[in-house]
Amino acid sequence: MNKQPAPPSSAPDTASERLLDQLSRNSTPHLDPLARVNWEGLDQDAFWLPEAAISLYGLPQYENLTIPRRKALSRFEFLNFIEAGLWLESLFMKRIGRSLSQPRRRLPELIYHLHELREEAGHSLMFLELIRRTAPDLPNDHFYRWNLANVMAHFAPFESIAFWVAVLCGEEVPDRMNRFIRKHRQEICPSVYDIVSIHIMDEARHIAHARDTIEQRLSLTPAWQKRLMRPVINRVFRQFVDTFYFPTQATYELAGLDPDEDWPRLARNNPHRIAFVDQCVASSLRILRDNGLQLDWR
Ligand SMILES: [Fe+2]
Ligand SMILES: [Fe+2]
């Protein structure tokens, strides 16, 4: 009997590859974020963040602010959050782009990374549209200064645990904030609701892939190696948390707050903010802890 040729199948042979195939199918057809936001709903006199998500919320100094000033602060804090998103997405897109010129890795992974690239480009276009419409001169250079998070994101090998821990934290940490904002639809500007909703939907897939990658990699890493990498990864984690949750003085001044007050210090010592951030980072910390990497953010 003639031997049958192997079917021309690219059927996935591992759970990770099945997940990648599933995620790629869920990313198709691509829905353009830029076209899905109702920009007519953009209201510069509304809150852009629910008040409980503002860094000074709960402090007497916050209570003393007028409502228009609080709204301005919510707008500039959200814009700062968006700028941090642009920074992070630019790093991730750069790394995916660079990986394309390497000898090809697993095909399902390559295909899914291209879906991610397309989606991150869509988010960045959506963020830039918000900036173009409301604050085209917003300063953003401080995100691109060399710190450990930037060094790691640029130079850690694409396949390394360090890189994927950075990806997971970079996606999961802001995602919790997006979910909090989304729950308070009645309190915020409708276009902001659209922006965070669209982002959450795509990020759920990106996070599923990053979690799976981390679990695979960490399960193969000896405990001594995790202990060795912990201080560096923890520092990167703290820088992500800082970038997303603790605006610099410039943000407060753009919102018209007194330039003589040290607002970043007040935010950092604000018990309400600390509890809020605790809540937002809990899931990242739990995933890493379950895989043998014990981190903290303060
Ligand atoms: Fe994104
Ligand atoms: Fe993402």
pLDDT > 50? residue 6:
no
To 5 degrees, how large is the angle CA 203–CA 187–CA 241? 40
Mean pLDDT value across residues 26-36: 96
Has residue 10 been placed in a domain? no
How would residue 4 be classed by pLDDT, with cut points 50, 70 and 90?
Answer: very low
List all residues 6 or more positions away from 68 whose beta carbon is below 8 Å from its beta carbon. Answer: 45
Residue 219 vs residues 87, 104, 222: alpha-carbon distances, Å = 30, 24, 8
Distance, in Å, from the CA atom of 200 to the CA atom of 171, rounded to the nearest integer, reads 10
Residue 267 Cα to ligand 1 middle (Å): 26
Report residue 12's pLDDT band, with 50, 70 and 90 as the boundaries: low
CA dist., res. 207 & res. 213, Å (int): 10
Closest ligand to residue 87's CA: 1
Please give the distance, rounded to the nearest whole angstrom, from the Cα atom of residue 116 to the centre of ligand 2.
Answer: 7
Domain-embedded: residue 151: yes
Report CA-CA distances (Å) from 81 to 11, 96, 251: 40, 23, 10
Spatial contact of 25 and 12, defined as CB atoms under 8 Å apart: no
Span 153-157, average pLDDT:
88
Average pLDDT, the chain: 92
pLDDT at 11: 57
Which structural domain, as residue segments, surrounds residue 278? 46-290
Asked if residue 159 has pLDDT above 90, the reply is no
The CATH number covering residue 103 comes to 1.20.1260
Token pair for residue 243? 């970038």
Q: Is the pLDDT of residue 289 over 90?
A: yes
Distance of CA 94 from the midpoint of ligand 2 (Å): 13
What pLDDT digit, counting tens, does each position of 275-288 carry? 999 999 999 999 99
Distance 259 CA to ligand 2 centre (A): 35
Q: Tell how far the Cα of 89 is from the centroid of ligand 2, in angstroms.
A: 7
CA of 218 to the centre of ligand 2 (A): 21
Among 96, 51, 98, smallest CA distance to 73 is for 51
> What pLDDT is attached to residue 144?
82
Residue 16 lies in a domain: no
pLDDT tens-digit readout, 96-145: 999 888 887 789 999 999 999 999 999 999 999 999 999 999 988 888 88
| 208-220 confidence digits (pLDDT tens) | 999 999 999 999 9
Structure tokens at 77: 């804090």
Query: Which two three-digit tokens encode residue 64?
Result: 């003393």
Determine the length of the chain. 298
> Which residues place a Cβ less than 5 A from the ion ligand 2?
171, 203, 206
Supply the DSSP symbol for 40: G
* Structural domain total, the chain: 1
Interval between CA 223 and ligand 1 midpoint (Å): 32
Q: pLDDT tens for residues 227-280?
A: 999 999 999 999 999 999 999 999 999 999 999 999 999 999 999 999 999 999
> What are 49-105's pLDDT values in tens digits?
999 999 999 999 999 999 999 999 999 999 999 999 999 999 999 999 998 888 877
Residue 28 lies in a domain: no
C-alpha 73 to ligand 1 mean position (Å): 23
Q: How many whole angstroms from 59 Cα to the centroid of ligand 1? A: 31
21 in a structural domain: no
Beta carbons within 10 angstroms of residue 23's beta carbon? 20
CA of 151 to the centre of ligand 1 (A): 20
Average pLDDT of the residues in 138-153: 84
Q: 200 C-alpha vs ligand 2 centroid, how far in Å?
A: 9
Is the omega angle on the peptide bond into residue 247 within 30 degrees of 0, that is, cis?
no
| 202 C-alpha to ligand 2 centroid (Å) | 7
For residue 34, report the distance from its CA to the centre of ligand 1, in Å.
13
Nearest to 47 by CA among 11, 72, 10: 72
Question: Which residues have a Cβ under 8 Å from the Cβ of 4 and sit 6 or more positions away?
Answer: none
For residue 294, give the 3-state DSSP assignment. Answer: coil
- C-alpha–C-alpha distance, residues 240 and 229, integer Å: 17
Q: Is residue 22 part of a domain?
A: no
Supply the pLDDT for residue 8: 40
Residues 267/55, Cβ–Cβ less than 8 Å = yes
Q: Is residue 3 part of a domain?
A: no
**185: in domain:** yes
